[in-house]
């Protein structure tokens, strides 16, 4: 955007100053304007490409965050299940431990 304004301003200044210039100077200034316009076109093209790349990167980031959230949810679920299984195992082993203690006495 800033480059566009600068290029337009430069072109306007160059064109207004053409009235007092010779043919050679006018041609040089026109060549400069043409070069600036080419640079502006390239800059706009590069900007569009970078914006596309940025959008793609944002989409990838969102997908990764969603996958991470799902994985964390699964971890939490499995952790809760593991805790339940350990408690059940401990409860199931308790009578066996009590029976062994009674045999020793």
For 46-68, how does the pLDDT look when each residue is reduced to its tens digit (9 = 90+)?
Answer: 999 999 999 999 999 999 999 99
CA distance readout (Å), 60 to 67, 71, 86: 11, 16, 38
Given this model, what pLDDT does residue 19 score? Answer: 58
Closest C-alpha to 39, from 9, 7, 5, 2: 7
Which residue positions in the chain have pLDDT lower than 50? Answer: none
Given this model, what pLDDT does residue 10 score? Answer: 73
Its pTM surpasses 0.85: no
CA distance readout (Å), 33 to 15, 25, 62, 84: 9, 12, 43, 76
Quote the CA–CA distance of 11 and 4 in Å, as a whole number. 10
- The residue length of the chain stands at 105
Q: Which residue has the tokens 């199931």?
A: 92
């Amino acid at each position: 955007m800033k480059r566009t304004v600068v290029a337009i301003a430069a072109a306007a200044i160059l064109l207004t100053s053409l009235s007092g210039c010779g043919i050679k100077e006018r041609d040089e200034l026109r060549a400069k304007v043409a070069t600036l316009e080419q640079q502006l076109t390239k800059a706009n093209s590069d900007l569009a490409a970078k914006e596309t790349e940025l959008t793609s990167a944002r989409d990838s980031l969102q997908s990764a965050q969603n996958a991470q959230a799902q994985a964390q949810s699964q971890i939490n679920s499995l952790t809760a299940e593991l805790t339940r299984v350990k408690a059940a195992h401990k409860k199931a082993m308790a009578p066996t431990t009590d029976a062994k203690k009674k045999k020793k006495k």
